[in-house]
Amino acid sequence: MADEAIGLPPELTKFDPENMRGAILEVPSHVEQGYRMPDSLDLRKMDGKFSAVLIAGMGGSSIAGLLLKSYLEDECIRLDVIQDYVLPKWADNKTLLIACSYSGNTEETLSVFKEARRAECSIVAVTTGGKLEEYTRISKIPTMLLQAGYQPRAAMTVQFFAMLRVLERLKLIPSKAAEVLKLKEDLKNQLQSLEKNAMILSDKLLSKTPIIYTSRRFGTVGYRWKCQFNENSKVMSYNNVFPELNHNEVEGYANTRGNYHAIILRFSEDHRRVQRRMSLTKEIMLRKGISATEIGITGPSLLSKLFSAILLGDLTSYYLALRIGMNPSKVELIEGFKKDLGPYVA
């Protein structure tokens, strides 16, 4: 077992009674599971042309949408993600809204859903139940029902592929089936080495604040890493993107006050000037006493690169949680906060 390779004490698994590791290692099988979900969806009433697609979601459920936006960046589709209460004023009956909430009870997503009903948008929902399912059942809105029992952030892959397939079925994007169907095997083959690398990286992050840097195109990957460090490991973490960070954040190294470790994720798609910026920025950080790890994300397709980078981050945050004695599944502050906020009356 890879644990022994870097000396992770086996008793640390006691911090994972809900088996978050199992949920992360299931990601390859979530690909097809999500992609098949819309097969039985009745979309006949939606054969009109949409001028824009909006995905409403928060936290883990918003990342599926953000990642989709990043993956589809070169396609002719206007796609945006709403992580808020409010639908843009321009949304109308030519807009498709996908309401994505694992629990179905997230107030921001429900608020956008209601505004979209008033604006006569076409709507599709992805959820396990909650109020969202109740509303869509009453209004006969096409809804994909996810399997319950996961933390929402562990269902991100199913949500991503379910939404991707909806866009394909509505002919808003060309079919990605060939790339999707190869992905499961490809990710399965990478799991062992990703897990081993995650254990090694998590060791470097003990007592550090992880900063994740990527190019702008892959900013969502960095954002997922940051959120997983927050939610799984319960540590502060930040992400930022090139080239923009060279115009502001880099100046902050003059007076570094935190104990940071920078993780620079490199993709072959990164612009050559961005590649140079990454190397120079790393040099500055090292000179200023900030440790840094560069990781080249490789894979046979864009999807493969996106999801292997996501898996590496999920696993690193998981092993960091165990090393510092945190249960990676529990999000007590988030849950307590939602309770304190009380019910939302629109």
d(CA 16, CA 331): 13
CB of residue 147 vs ligand F6R: minimum separation in angstroms? Answer: 14
Residue nearest to ligand F6R (CB): 59
Closest approach, Cβ 86 to ligand F6R, in A, equals: 16
Q: Which is nearer to ligand F6R, 65 or 219 (CB)?
A: 65
Catalytic, 204? Answer no
Active site residue 231: yes
The angle, 0 to 180 degrees and rounded to 10, between the axes of the packed helices 156-169 and 177-204 is 160
Positions touching ligand F6R (CB under 6 A) are 58-61, 101-103, 106, 109, 151-153, 231, 331
Establish whether 332 is a catalytic residue.
Answer: no
- Identify residue 180 by its one-letter amino acid code: V
Q: For ligand F6R, give the closer residue by CB, 102 or 213.
A: 102
Q: How far is the CB of 174 from ligand F6R (least distance, A)?
A: 29
Instruction: Give the H or E element holding residue 98.
Output: strand 95-101
Neighbours of 209 (CB within 10 A): 15
Q: How far is the CB of 227 from ligand F6R (least distance, A)?
A: 7
Residue ranges in 121-264 assigned as alpha helix (H): 130-138, 156-169, 177-204, 219-228
Smallest CA-to-CA distance from 327 within 2, 6, 12, 59 is with 12
Separation of alpha carbons 241 and 222, rounded Å: 8
Residue number, 38 or 60, with CB nearest to ligand F6R: 60
Per-residue tokens: 283: 């040099």
Catalytic residue, chosen from 231, 234, 305, 330, is 231
In the sheet with 260-267, reading across from the earlier edge strand, the strands are 238-242, 209-215, 260-267, 291-297
Strand, helix or coil at 123?
Answer: strand
Structure tokens at 325: 């004695």
CB of 102 to ligand F6R, least distance (A): 4
Element (H, E) at 259: none
Catalytic residue among 4, 247, 332, 339: 247
Nearer to ligand F6R, 224 or 277 (CB): 224
Q: Which is nearer to ligand F6R, 115 or 186 (CB)?
A: 115
Catalytic residues, which ones? Answer: 231, 247, 338
